[in-house]
């Protein structure tokens, strides 16, 4: 049996604004999809979803990546695939991309062929297209390579940055589903309606990414948290937030976070916060009292890899 893991991701800054050519900053985090493969008969089982049968909507992702592997590396003997994911599904943390990346890596490792992370990325990205019509590649890139990622208009740059010393990230799952396409459409509609004001908001979002990069280089957690709040405010102004998302941001601040914001499409999904490590016990107590589903995470700088 060969097993691989791939990390999930969050967007620290820039979501929605990328649609109009502004930059975004993503980060791979220490929540993982675990995939193991062994000889079998193409049984695919997910601990979260159960058996993924041939008529399942989730099956197309696996069919595509298997076809791509066969086209690149010749035949593949029938395998069984087992998936266990720590990522909440459809929450903006890149769960389908992490599944595609970890599965591709596990199968190629089992085959014993020589391969690079770039080849894993290419196969997984093609599989992602069966889940998201035109994926940006951000989720697949972070699951494959880990670390910080600067993204603008289809261009990716892996950044040699670290989270400020002595800090952690909090991820809170709102447990609210939403249509990413619908939120994106509504935000773009507001942008067009606002005209010059919309352009100013998007320009401010670009400046926030620049200031955030500077804060990361300077190990400045306080400024980074403040910028997260300002970014959340801009997303709220464009209609990407909701009452529950705003409430969670306030709960994070009450729990000691330096800042917080939605991560991804908004109106649900996950909300993230930055916190000093000495505040973690207090945050755990207060967030538990509010019955939130939350996780303390750190950056994952390695990306996809084999595990025992």
Residue 266 domain-assigned? yes
Q: Which of 100, 133, 160 is the last residue of a domain?
A: 160
Residue 193 domain-assigned? yes
Asked if 105 and 40 sit in the same domain, the reply is yes
pLDDT for res 54: 86
Q: What's the pLDDT tens digit per position in 167-180? A: 999 999 999 988 88
Residue 306 domain-assigned? no
Residue 15 domain-assigned? yes
Average predicted confidence (pLDDT) for the chain: 95
Handedness of CA 240, 19, 262, 173 (dihedral sign): positive
Asked if 155 and 204 sit in the same domain, the reply is no
**Rounded to whole angstroms, what are the CA distances from 159 to 123, 141, 232?**
23, 12, 23
Q: Which of 139, 160, 181 is the last residue of a domain?
A: 160
Asked if 281 and 186 sit in the same domain, the reply is yes
Asked if 154 and 19 sit in the same domain, the reply is yes
Residue 50 domain-assigned? yes
CATH code at position 131:
3.30.230.10
Q: What's the pLDDT tens digit per position in 149-199? A: 999 988 999 999 999 999 999 999 999 988 888 999 999 999 999 999 999
Q: What's the pLDDT tens digit per position in 16-51? A: 999 999 999 999 999 999 999 999 999 999 999 999
Q: Round to whole Å and give the CA distance between 169 and 46.
A: 27
Residue 305 domain-assigned? no
Asked if 152 and 193 sit in the same domain, the reply is no
* CA torsion, ordered 156, 160, 162, 163, to nearest 10 deg: -20
**Rounded to whole angstroms, what are the CA distances from 196 to 5, 228, 239?**
45, 24, 17
pLDDT for res 133: 58
Which positions are annotated as active-site residues? 139
Asked if 153 and 196 sit in the same domain, the reply is no
Q: Which residues contact 222 (CB under 8 A, 6 or more apart)?
A: 258
Asked if 28 and 126 sit in the same domain, the reply is yes
**Rounded to whole angstroms, what are the CA distances from 97 to 41, 92, 140, 199, 252?**
24, 11, 5, 31, 28
- The total domain count for the chain is 2
Q: Which of 160, 176, 191 is the last residue of a domain?
A: 160
Q: Which domain holds residue 212?
A: 167-297
Asked if 141 and 221 sit in the same domain, the reply is no
CATH code at position 207:
3.30.70.890
Q: Round to whole Å and give the CA distance between 211 and 233.
A: 16
Asked if 126 and 187 sit in the same domain, the reply is no
Asked if 156 and 56 sit in the same domain, the reply is yes
Helix runs in 49-179, H state only: 59-73, 95-111, 117-128, 138-145
| pLDDT at position 200 over 90 | yes
Asked if 103 and 139 sit in the same domain, the reply is yes
Asked if 155 and 171 sit in the same domain, the reply is no
């Amino acid at each position: 049996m060969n097993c691989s893991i791939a990390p999930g991701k969050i967007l620290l800054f820039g979501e929605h604004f990328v649609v109009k050519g502004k930059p975004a900053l993503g980060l791979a985090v220490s929540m993982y999809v675990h995939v193991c493969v062994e000889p079998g008969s193409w049984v695919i089982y997910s601990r979260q979803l159960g058996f993924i049968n041939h008529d399942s909507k989730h099956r197309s992702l696996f069919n595509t990546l298997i076809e791509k592997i066969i086209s690149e590396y010749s035949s593949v003997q029938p395998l069984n695939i087992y998936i266990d994911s720590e990522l909440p599904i459809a929450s903006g943390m890149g769960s389908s991309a992490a599944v595609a990346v970890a599965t591709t890596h596990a199968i190629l490792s089992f085959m014993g062929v020589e391969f690079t992370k770039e080849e894993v990325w290419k196969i997984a990205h093609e599989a992602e297209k069966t889940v998201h019509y035109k994926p940006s590649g951000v989720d697949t890139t972070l699951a494959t390579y880990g670390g910080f990622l600067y993204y603008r208009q289809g261009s990716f740059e892996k950044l040699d940055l670290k989270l400020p010393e002595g800090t952690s990230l909090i991820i809170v799952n709102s447990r609210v589903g939403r249509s990413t396409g619908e939120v994106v459409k509504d935000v773009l509609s507001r942008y067009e309606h606002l005209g010059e004001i919309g352009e100013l908001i998007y320009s401010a979002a670009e400046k926030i990414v620049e200031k955030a990069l500077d804060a990361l280089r300077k190990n400045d957690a306080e400024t980074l948290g403040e910028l997260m709040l300002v970014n959340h405010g801009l997303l709220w102004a464009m209609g990407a937030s909701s009452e529950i998302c705003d409430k969670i941001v306030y709960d994070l601040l009450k729990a000691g976070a330096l800042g917080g914001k939605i991560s991804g499409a908004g109106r649900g999904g996950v909300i993230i916060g930055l916190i000093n490590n000495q505040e973690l016990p207090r945050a755990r107590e207060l967030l538990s009292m509010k019955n939130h589903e939350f996780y303390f995470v750190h950056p994952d700088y390695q990306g996809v890899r084999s595990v025992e």
